[in-house]
Amino acid sequence: MTTTDFDTLKPAALLPHKAPMLLVDRVLHTDFKDSITTETVIREDLVFLKGHFPDYPLLPGVCILEAMFQASGILTRVASLDEAAPQERKRIGKAVKVKSAVFYKEVLPGSRLVITSERINNILNFSEYKVIATVNGETVCKAEITLSIGI
């Protein structure tokens, strides 16, 4: 794959998640190896917003973290598309660790959440990432996360 192919990458085809747990709408950019940028539009009808402060709906922080894990999972998947044997392409990344997470701002309905994930280390079946979530160019969350890559 080349860096011009990212327009055709579909999160629903690259992740096992389905609505309402699929929290990545599209891939904005990737180098197909160590970094990816994704986006999600936070729709007012998301099930997470209905009971999370009903009079002041905001996206739960755990949903932001899950979107970070999903963006990193997509990176793991696209990085293996060309180099892995067919059985390896089906491997699923699972959240195993949040080393640090800091929330700076609230994410409200109508926001465009942009997540940039950078792979910083691979050890055996584990991949570590530094991830930043932004809205309108302002950081809303930073985290260091680890995925386990298994079948």
pLDDT for 128: 96
Specify the pLDDT at position 54: 83
Mean of pLDDT values over 33-42: 96
Beta-sheet strands, E only, within the chain: 26-30, 35-41, 92-103, 112-123, 126-135, 138-150
Mean pLDDT of 31-53: 93
Peptide bond into 109 cis (omega under 30): no
- Into how many domains does the chain fold? 1
Residue range of the domain that includes 55 = 3-150
| Cα–Cα distance list, 139 to 91, 107, 128, 133, 143 (Å) | 31, 10, 20, 6, 11
- Residue 94 belongs to domain with CATH number: 3.10.129.10
**Does the pLDDT of residue 40 top 80, yes or no?**
yes
Mean pLDDT of 40-67: 93
Contact 15, 74 (CB under 8 A): yes
CB 105 within 8 A of CB 140: yes
What pLDDT sits at residue 110? 96
**Is the confidence at residue 78, as pLDDT, over 60?**
yes
pTM above 0.75, yes or no: yes
Residue 77 — very low, low, confident or very high, per pLDDT cuts 50/70/90?
A: confident
Can you tell me the mean pLDDT for 29-52? 93
Torsion of CA 65, 68, 74, 76, to 10 degrees: -100
pLDDT at residue 97, as a whole number: 95
Return the active site residues. 52
